Structure 1
Amino acid sequence: MTISRILASTVLLGALSVFAPLTYAKTCELTIAGNDAMQYDKQSLEVAADCTEVKLTLTHTGKLPAAAMGHNWVLTETAVFQAVATAGTSAGLANDYVPKDDKRVIAHTKIIGGGESTSVTFSTSALKKGGDYTFFCSFPGHWSVMKGKLTFG
C-alpha cells in the first residue's frame, strides 16, 4: 500500500468519525398493557436520554371488543392532555378517539380490543429532558383513570 493510499484512508476514517454521532440512532422499546377493568399495568414509563426514538407496544389483556372496551395510548404534554382527551371523544372510533392532525399529540396508537396489540414508533425530538408528559387512553370515559407519567432523560 502506498503512502498516499494510507493517508487517504486515514483522512476518510477521520472524516467518518466526525459525522458518526450525526447518524447514531437508538430505538428504546417500552411495553404497557390495558385490561377490561380500565387499567394500565404501569403508572409511569421512563425513556433514557440517549434514546433517539421510542417504540411503544400496547397490549389489551382483556376479552372485550374495541367498540365496547377499546384502549389506545396517547402522549401529550400534561398541560394539554385533558383538552386533547376531551376533543378526542368527538373524533370518534374511526379516528381512534384522537383529534385528527392535532399538533398537541406527540404520539398515539390505534384503538385495540381484547387480545390485540399495536405499536407506535416516535422520535424523542419532541420531548424535552425534565418535561411534564402524560400518557392516557382516549377511549370515551377512560382518560380520567387510565393515565400515567412519561419521563424523558
Structure 2
Amino acid sequence: MMKMTTAAAALLTALLAGPTLAATCNVDIEGSDAMQFNKTSIAVPASCKQFTVKLRHAGKLPKAAMGHNWVLSKAADAQAVANDGIAAGLDKSYVKPGDTRVIAHTKIIGGGESDAVSFDVAKLKAGESYAWFCSFPGHSTIMKGTLALAK
C-alpha cells in the first residue's frame, strides 16, 4: 500500500476541490443575424458579488439593421421595458434613460462587435423571476431568456 505525504494529500484535495469552490461569475452570449441568442437561461451563483455578461454579435449586419443588446429586468417588467426602449432610439441603445426597472444592459452592437456589462448580484432576490432580452425593435419576442439566482 502506498503512503501519501500530508503535502501531497493536501495538494490532491485542493486540485480535486478547486473547480467546485470557484463560482463562475460571468457568461458569454452570442447574438446572430438570424435574430437568435445562443442561450436561453442563465444561473447566477449567489456567491458572486458581481456578475458579468459578455455579449458578442456573431453576424455581419450593422447595428442599425440588426443590432443586438442584452437587457435584464424582472420578468414582470420585461415587456414594458422593451416597449419604452423603442421610443428611446438607437442612440440610447433602445433603453429608456433612467429606467429603474432595468437592472443591467449592454449597448447595441452590430456584426463582429462585442460589449459587456457587470452588475451587483445583491440586486437579485432568490425566488424572483428575471428576464433578459434584446430591446432592438421587434427582437424581444424572440431574443429572450430567463435568469435566476442560484444557491
What is the TM-score with the length of structure 2 in the denominator?
0.83
Q: Where do residues 1-153 of structure 1 align in structure 2 (5 Å cutoff)?
A: 28-153=25-150
Q: After superposition, what is the alpha-carbon deviation per residue over 1:24-53, rounded to whole angstroms, capped at 9, x for unaligned?
A: xx8811110000010000010110110111
Show the counterpart of 1:6: none
Unaligned runs of 5+ in 1: 1-25
- Is the CA contact 2:24–2:45 (under 8 Å) kept in the aligned structure 1? no
* Contact in 2 for aligned 1:27/1:55 (Cα 8 Å): no
Partner SS for 1:30: strand
Counterpart contact for 1:58–1:119, Cα < 8 Å:
yes
Gaps of at least 5 residues in structure 2 are 1-22
Shift of 1:106: 0.1
Q: Give the ranges of 4+ consecutive aligned residues of structure 1 lying more than 4 Å apart after TM superposition.
A: none
**Structure 2: distance between partners of 1:116 and 1:83:** 27
Q: Indicate conservation of the 8 Å contact 1:84/1:98, yes or no.
A: yes
What is the CA–CA distance in structure 2 between the aligned matches of 1:27 and 1:126, rounded to whole Å?
A: 18
TM-score where L is the length of structure 1 = 0.82
- C-alpha contact 2:32 2:58 (8 A) present in aligned 1: yes
Q: Which has the larger radius of gyration?
A: 1
C-alpha contact 2:94 2:136 (8 A) present in aligned 1: yes
* 1:54 aligned counterpart, secondary structure: strand
Opposite residue 70 of structure 1, the aligned amino acid is: G
The alignment yields a C-alpha RMSD, in angstroms, of 1.1
